[in-house]
Amino acid sequence: MLATLTLAGLRVGELCALRWRDVDLGAGRLIVGDAKTDAGRRTVDLLPVLRDELDARKARLGRVKPEAFVFATAAGGPRDRHNIRERAVKRAAVLASVRLVDAGGAPLPKLTPHALRRTFASILVAAGRDPAFVMAQMGHTDPVLTLRVYAHVMRQAPAEREALRVLVDGVEWGRMGTNRRAEAHAA
Q: Where are the domains of the chain?
A: 2-186
Question: What is the CATH class of 2-186?
Answer: mainly alpha
| Collapsed DSSP state (helix, strand, coil) of residue 58 | helix
> Starting from the edge strand earliest in sequence, which strands make up the sheet with 29-32, in order?
23-24, 29-32, 42-45
Mean pLDDT of the chain: 83
Share of the chain above pLDDT 70, in %: 83
| Averaged pLDDT, 103-114 | 89
Q: What is the pLDDT of residue 151?
A: 64
What CA–CA distance (Å, rounded) separates 50 from 15? 14
The pLDDT of 77-87, averaged and rounded, is: 93
pTM for this entry: 0.79
Helix (H) or strand (E) holding 45: strand 42-45
Residue 91 is predicted with a pLDDT of 93
User: Could you give the CA distance from residue 81 to residue 106 in angstroms, rounded to a whole number?
Assistant: 28
* HSE-CB of 153 using CA atoms within 13 angstroms: 26
pLDDT digits (tens, 9 = 90+) for 120-179: 888 888 788 888 898 899 888 877 777 776 666 666 677 776 776 676 676 544 434 434
Q: Return d(Cα 53, Cα 55) in angstroms, integer.
A: 5
pLDDT, tens digit, 9 for 90 and up, residues 44-54: 999 999 999 99
**Contact between residue 179 and residue 56 where contact means Cβ atoms under 8 Å apart:** no
pLDDT above 90: residue 181: no
pLDDT of residue 150: 63
pLDDT of residue 129: 85
Residue 146: predicted pLDDT: 73
Averaged over 16-44, what is the pLDDT?
90
Say which range, 75-84, 98-107, 155-164, 170-179, has the weakest mean pLDDT: 170-179
Q: Please, which residues have CB within 8 angstroms of residue 150's CB and are 6 or more apart in sequence?
A: 125, 131, 134
